[in-house]
Amino acid sequence: MTTQSPAVDLARASAPEGVPEDLLAWVVGIAELTGPAKVEWVDGSQEEWDRLTSEMVESGTLVRLNEDRRPNSFLARSLPSDVARVESRTYICSEREEDAGPTNNWADPAAMKETLRGVFAGAMAGRTMYVVPFSMGPLGGDISKLGVEVTDSPYVVANMRIMTRMGTPALDLIKGGEFWVPAVHSVGYPLIDAEGNEWPDVPWPCSEDKYITHFPETREIWSYGSGYGGNALLGKKCYALRIASVIARDEGWMAEHMLILKLTNERTGRSYHVTGAFPSATGKTNLAMLQPTIEGWKVETVGDDIAWMRQGADGRLYAINPEAGFFGVAPGTGRSTNPVAVDTLTENILFTNVALTDDGDVWWERLTDEAPAHLTDWQGNSWTPDSEAPSSHPNSRFTAPAAQAPTIADDWEDPAGVPIDAILFGGRRASNVPLVAEAYDWEHGVFMGATVASEQTAAAEGTVGALRRDPFAMLPFCGYNMADYWGHWLRMGEKLGENAPRIYQVNWFRKDADGKYMWPGFGDNSRVLDWIIRRVSGEVDAVDGITGRMPRAADLDLTGLDLAPEVLEEIFRVDPAAWAAESDATEAYLEQFGDKVPAEVRDQLARLRERIAAAQGRSGE
Ligand code: GTP
Ligand code: SPV
Ligand code: MN
């Protein structure tokens, strides 16, 4: 066959044998549009990893770390303009605007496709286009799903090899006729421009212009201009949350921004599984790797960021971790806070935007109590403890194989998932929200999740510390109208009935007048998990409160914890006046969703107000 574009011939010639015609046609079409110099179908092998990482060391994209200290590990430094997800450039392109809803950026799908055709035209000129088949979830699992990312970034390929089941086995499943999601990615930095001029490559190619776009009806992803994290590793937020949330709505399951952990009672041998939705950089990885400070519990890790959940044959809710690695926040990860993460990061790790030590290892704020005397910071500049800026970017990350975590649970790759006993909703709240409260029922739990607010972090662009609503920690990740998503949660609750997990709201981040965290957090969060499991198994009663049921003073295990009684009281304090203001703000917040807000959610707001009024009556306010 003869064609007008050499890229088309390359795409065909490079395809492994037996690639289905629809996949081949799609890859050929992208090659024709983007005009790469080479096309490479990745197999996911060690040899391929070795070759790609060596090439990136050669080109200056990666620094190879000291082989004795951090074998087979590398450091990448991005541009300061490409360090986090860009929510302002993230679009849901549903046919109807109301299906994206007021919390998403909407764009007309036909118009956006036109724009994308423009920016992607010639975008890969001079580069290699990698074709990356991957599975989200264990290969061949019932809950798992397949995708193919086409990318011009070898850094993305290397990350995808850690974060997903990537390569030949995934392609084999696609050859077998399984459903797959197409995902197109370009850093938007061609090496040959439209006039035919050649440009040298740079260590971190990207574009000022960025588009992270999703087409929920056709289940497509197109991402342009960024090489960083969730903008570029398209299996993660783009697929496993934004597109999967839409598929889940249509098919009656759930795609959630949740960690999954396993707790075993060492006395009885009984195991429990808990999921938790916390906004970005708000403690999922840390909780998933928690080391209990109280006796009697073993905590193991199933997942640290995303959960796909389905009702099983026994009526219970089962969760899988669709990912194969952790893309974790580096700063704050240290021996004293998260020793499990530190022990996971020993080898085979990609680090991005952390500091380099003089002996070729990595460092970031609070990895050790004392900073090294000299470092090269995340922008490549000389750094000492006297330097004003931190050595690592606040959203610097490690990409680590999940299987390397010393706490990885034996059932973490069970294709059927793990049965869920409790669901947590958390946020960063300096005030008002108590350490833990149990939802009165599923509908109240949905209300809790729907109204969660949290202080913003460095995981996305925006003002760090600004309080914003982040319902179900899904604000940047829900692929459809948020109010319809609440409706979906309510329907799931009806379906699950008696088998539905209990729901809890938690807050590790309450601060005192001096701005210091009052609750020690991290391993001590096991004290809260302990109470939750004892509630779930019916061992303890609770006290009805304004925001939910709270622990009786004697039921929270505080053994060995040096916490003044007045501090503990403050951590649990629920101020009726403050909650009256919160509920007014909630009402205003719900307004933007108009009549899409489920009646149950409005009803829960009315009940919250009744509880506030009753408390105010009691205290004579
Ligand atoms: P994403 O990967 O962005 O989704 O983040 P995440 O939710 O997994 O957050 P992670 O566990 O990486 O924690 C983010 C930051 O919060 C880190 O700097 C942690 O040190 C800090 N952190 C986590 N848990 C706690 C806690 O219990 N208390 C306090 N004070 N800080 C915590
Ligand atoms: C988050 O922001 O919630 C993350 C990091 O987990 S990213 O993959 O960049 O979305
Ligand atoms: Mn996340």
pLDDT score of 6: 87
pLDDT band at 193 (very low <50, low <70, confident <90, very high): very high
Q: Does the predicted TM-score (pTM) go above 0.95?
A: yes
Residue partners of 224: CB distance under 8 A and separation at least 6:
116, 119, 120, 123, 185, 186, 188, 207, 209, 210, 211, 212, 213
Strand partners, 544: 549
230 CB less than 6 Å from ligand 2? yes
Q: Residue 332: how many CA atoms within 13 Å on its side-chain side?
A: 15
pLDDT of residue 4: 54
Q: Which of 286, 338, 345, 525 gets mutated to test ligand 1 (max ligand atoms within 8 A of its CB)?
A: 286
State the Cα–Cα distance between residues 214 and 222, nearest whole angstrom. 7
Whether ligand 2 lies within 6 angstroms of the CB of 284 is answered as no
Residue 2 pLDDT: 44
Distance CA 308, CA 460 (A): 23
Q: Please tell me the distance from the alpha carbon of residue 502 to that of residue 409, in angstroms, as a whole number.
A: 22
User: In angstroms, what is the span from residue 279 Cα to ligand 3's centroid?
Assistant: 7
Is 278 a pocket residue for ligand 1 (Cβ < 6 Å)?
yes
Q: Which residues have CB under 8 Å from 330's CB, separation 6+? A: 351, 353, 354, 364, 367, 392, 396, 397, 398
Instruction: Give the pair of three-digit tokens for residue 322.
Output: 């669709």
| Ligand 2: nearest atom to the Cα of 229 | 9
Question: Ligand 3: distance of its center to the CA of 331 in Å?
Answer: 15
Taking only the tens place, the pLDDT of each residue in 508-553 is 999 999 999 999 999 999 999 999 999 999 999 999 999 999 999 9
Amino acid, res. 34: T
- Report whether pLDDT(502) > 60: yes
280 lines ligand 2 (CB under 6 A): yes
What pLDDT sits at residue 621? 57
- Averaged pLDDT for residues 599-609: 98
Q: How far is the centre of ligand 3, averaged over its atoms, from the C-alpha of 82 (Å)?
A: 17
The answer, yes or no, to whether residue 618 has pLDDT greater than 90, is: no
**Ligand 1 site, residue 329, Cβ cutoff 6 A:** yes
Neighbour tally for 190: CB within 10 Å: 24
Q: Is-contact 263 225, C-beta < 8 A?
A: no
CB 528 within 8 A of CB 436: yes
Closest protein CA for atom 27 of ligand 1: 521
pLDDT, position 1: 43
Q: Residue 78 C-alpha to ligand 3 middle, in angstroms?
A: 19
Dist. CA 270–CA 288, nearest whole Å: 18
pLDDT at residue 7, rounded to an integer: 87
Gap from CA of 428 to ligand 1 centroid (Å): 10
Q: DSSP letter string over 472-526?
A: GG-TTT-SS-HHHHHHHHHHHHHHHGGGPPEEEEE-S--B-TTS-BSS--GGGGH
Query: Does residue 410 have a pLDDT over 80?
Result: yes
Give pLDDT tens digits for 114-129: 999 999 999 999 999 9
Within 274-344, residue ranges assigned H as helices are: 284-288, 339-344
Whether residue 456 has its Cβ less than 6 Å from ligand 1: no
Q: What is the tens place of the pLDDT at every residue in 250-305?
A: 999 999 999 999 999 999 999 999 999 999 999 999 999 999 999 999 999 999 99
User: By the 8 A CB rule, do 124 and 505 touch?
Assistant: no
Q: Whose CA is nearest to atom 4 of ligand 2?
A: 280
Pocket probe for ligand 2: among 280, 285, 350, the residue whose CB has the most ligand atoms within 8 Å is 280
What are the backbone angles phi and psi of residue 334, rounded to the nearest 5°? -145, 175
Question: 510-532 burial, b for 16+ CB within 10 Å, e for fewer?
Answer: beeeeeeebbebbbbbbbbbbbb
Taking each helix axis from N to C end, the angle separating 6-14 and 21-34, rounded to the nearest 10 degrees, works out to: 150
- For residues 107 and 142, the answer to whether their CB atoms sit within 8 Å is no
Given this model, what pLDDT does residue 237 score?
Answer: 98
In percent, the amount of the chain with pLDDT more than 90 equals 97
pLDDT tier, 3 (very low <50, low <70, confident <90, very high otherwise): very low
**Ligand 1 centroid from CA 189, angstroms:** 33
Mean pLDDT (the chain, rounded) = 97
Q: Is the CB of 138 under 6 A from ligand 2?
A: no
Stretch 604-619: mean pLDDT, rounded?
A: 95
pLDDT digits (tens, 9 = 90+) for 15-73: 999 999 999 999 999 999 999 999 999 999 999 999 999 999 999 999 999 999 999 99
